[in-house]
Amino acid sequence: MVHKKIAIMTTGGDCSGLNTVIQRIVDACNLRKWDVVGIQDGTDGLYSTPAKTINLTNNAFQFASSHLAGSILANGHAGATNFESSARVGKLNAFNKRLQKSIKELNLDAMVLIGGNGSLSLAHLYNEIYNGVQLICIPKTMDLDIPLTDRTIGFDTAVQQLTSFANQLLLIARSHHRWFVIQTMGRACGSLALHAGVAVGADAILIPEVKFNIDNLVKHIKQSKRDYGIIMVSEAISIRGHSGKAADMISRALNTANIPNRTSFPEHIQRAGDTTANDRILAMGFADTALKAIENNETNVMTVLQDGEYKTVSLSDFFEAGRKVKDPNIVGIMTSNRYVEPDDVLLQIATDMGIYIGEKRK
């Protein structure tokens, strides 16, 4: 077997499942007797001179904690040098060149980049950074907003965390005869709110992809057979003429209609928690697929799960497949995004089961 040296880097926001993927890639490298290093603090670590790395070969130090949230490699910090901060000060070219130089200095055969749609879009658009090494990407995000893959690392755990959280609130809601409006994360994608809302038995689920009518929401809540329950609201919903946080806007409308309620913001708890069995299995599937892609001399690819099959797709296919949206932090850059589709089976099931999900799919 040809000897290789590979690096692993986690970028963007963290999510539960990153440590499992890291550990499984290390396991797979150990099996092949390949060297493996971790880049610390994402692109900030790669930008440093010399690049901040940690030797992971034969390293079982994190085995016992490989199913806990966060990333043992870390993803960066508020003061980190990254694509966004470099673009802000007009030094994006110099930043990209430094990353390219670090990759050369590390003498790598392959880089496994575990990132979200921003990181993967940048990896595609600034591909020259990885010149000379095989670039294999693994999709991770609690938002499930990456095109071409049915699942991303961290989504299942986020749904579990949010469901458990909402379930606790349901008990409290019952004892005070009131409703809880829970604001979920997910950016512009409603997948997390939709899945957790269905899982907890919410009476209403509001997501950015579906237009809703506040009067009809109020009517629906008043007609329900209970005086307590959950209204799951995705952070990116909007109501014309209203401003403020999504949950606050809905809460105010309920107050006006004399429906007792409280808001709740689970925030980063959704990104924490022990990695679920499904995310662990996904992590192993992606690690195996990534290592095989390296052996097959593939490059500029992303691992995906499609209809139960693990495989790779090209980064350009990933980029073309999503809806392109301007990156809010880097002028001139578009990211490739996935949303809840109008024919999403869960949307139909929720509607059939009498959950208020709005009026019209956008």
140 binds ligand F6P (CB under 6 A): no
CB 118, min distance to ligand F6P, A: 8
271 binds ligand F6P (CB under 6 A): yes
Q: Residues 29 to 48: which contact ligand F6P by CB under 6 A?
A: none
- Between 187 and 338, whose beta carbon lies closer to ligand F6P? 187
Q: Which span sits near ligand F6P by CB under 6 A: 30-38, 183-191, 224-232, 324-332? A: 183-191
187 binds ligand F6P (CB under 6 A): yes
CB 252, min distance to ligand F6P, A: 22
Query: Alpha-carbon distance 55 to 131, whole Å?
Result: 23
- Between 151 and 271, whose beta carbon lies closer to ligand F6P? 271
194 binds ligand F6P (CB under 6 A): no
Q: Which span sits near ligand F6P by CB under 6 A: 138-146, 303-311, 332-340, 345-353? A: 138-146
141 binds ligand F6P (CB under 6 A): yes
Q: Which residues share a beta bridge with 360?
A: 211
Binding characters for ligand F6P, 4-23, by CB under 6 A (x = yes): ---------x----------
Q: Which span sits near ligand F6P by CB under 6 A: 31-39, 85-93, 135-143, 280-288? A: 135-143
338 binds ligand F6P (CB under 6 A): no
186 binds ligand F6P (CB under 6 A): yes
279 binds ligand F6P (CB under 6 A): no
Binding characters for ligand F6P, 113-132, by CB under 6 A (x = yes): ---x----------------
β-pair type (204-206, 229-234): parallel
Q: Which span sits near ligand F6P by CB under 6 A: 75-83, 184-192, 213-221, 338-346? A: 184-192
197 binds ligand F6P (CB under 6 A): no
Contacts of 83 (CB under 8 A, 6+ apart): 43, 92, 95, 122, 126, 329, 330
CB 13, min distance to ligand F6P, A: 4
- Between 56 and 192, whose beta carbon lies closer to ligand F6P? 192
98 binds ligand F6P (CB under 6 A): no
Q: Which span sits near ligand F6P by CB under 6 A: 36-44, 180-188, 211-219, 323-331? A: 180-188
Tokens matching residue 84: 């966004």
Query: Alpha-carbon distance 191 to 289, whole Å?
Result: 25
Chain residues that interact with ligand F6P, rule: CB under 6 A:
13, 116, 141-143, 185-187, 235, 271
